[in-house]
Amino acid sequence: MAEVLVFHHGQGLTAGVRGFAEQLRRAGHTVHAPDLYEGKVFDSLEEGAAYAESVGFDTIIARGAAAAEGLPAELVYVGFSLGVLPAQKLAQARPGAKGALLLEACVPVSEFGAAWPRDVPVQIHGMDADPFFAGEGDVDAARALVEKATDAELFLYAGDRHLFTDSSLPSYDEHAATQVTHRVFGFLDRLK
């Protein structure tokens, strides 16, 4: 079974993110889900993004790196939207990563290093008309990563929702989220 570090999205460590982590635990994985917002959960993405901006994205990434300290190097990093920042940085820069699951966001690989590590498989999931994922360049960064990485997959889902994987939010899309979960379990199973 895999050891997984899950980073929440811009609204905080919501019930939906905790539920996702619990699904992984029930499947036998060891899961860590740190709170990068120090207990704050926001009702809207705009409020959460404003908080992240006020704290600073570098601080959010540093909190993610701090959460990894003391954990084994052989982690699978999972990031939901904003949580992709620390997940992707750690997968690229912390030696020993077993894999990365980037949900609803992806940044250019050059942000955290020259290239994606050859031995780190990655899956990226997002909606094809999500104004953030598709409209702000994340899908382009994801396509570039898939093109150059040794073991990378991009899954696009029909729709325009952001945070469609969080079952506790109005943006939740059960059908697409179920597909994501199925593919995530398949990814983790092959890492054994």
**Using alpha carbons only, what angle is made at residue 69 by residues 118 and 72, rounded to the nearest 5 degrees?**
55
CATH number at residue 21: 3.40.50.1820
Q: At what angle do helices 57-68 and 45-55 cross, to 10 degrees?
A: 80
Which range of residues forms the domain containing residue 125?
Answer: 3-190
Q: What letter represents residue 81's amino acid?
A: S
Q: What is the reported pLDDT for 114?
A: 76
Number of domains composing the chain: 1
CA distance linking residue 101 with residue 79, whole number of Å: 6
Find the farthest-apart pair of alpha carbons in the chain and give their distance in angstroms, rounded.
40
**Whether pLDDT at 192 is above 90:** no
> Per residue in 74-116, pLDDT tens?
999 999 999 999 999 999 999 999 999 999 999 999 999 878 9
Q: What is the reported pLDDT for 56?
A: 96
Burial of 54 (0-12, 13-18, 19+ CB in 10 A): exposed
The encoded tokens of residue 66 equal: 């701090």
Q: Average pLDDT for residues 33-50, to the nearest whole number?
A: 96
Residue ranges in 27-173 assigned as alpha helix (H)? 45-55, 57-68, 84-93, 138-148
> Per residue in 109-150, pLDDT tens?
999 987 899 999 999 999 999 999 999 999 999 999 999 999
**Whether pLDDT at 29 is above 80:** yes
The encoded tokens of residue 164 equal: 């469609």
> Per residue in 150-177, pLDDT tens?
999 999 999 999 999 999 999 999 999 9
pTM of the model: 0.96
CA distance linking residue 151 with residue 11, whole number of Å: 30
Look at the block and give the residue holding tokens 């939740």.
172
Q: Give the length of the chain.
A: 192
CA distance linking residue 170 with residue 69, whole number of Å: 34
Cβ partners under 8 Å of residue 151, min gap 6: 120, 121, 122
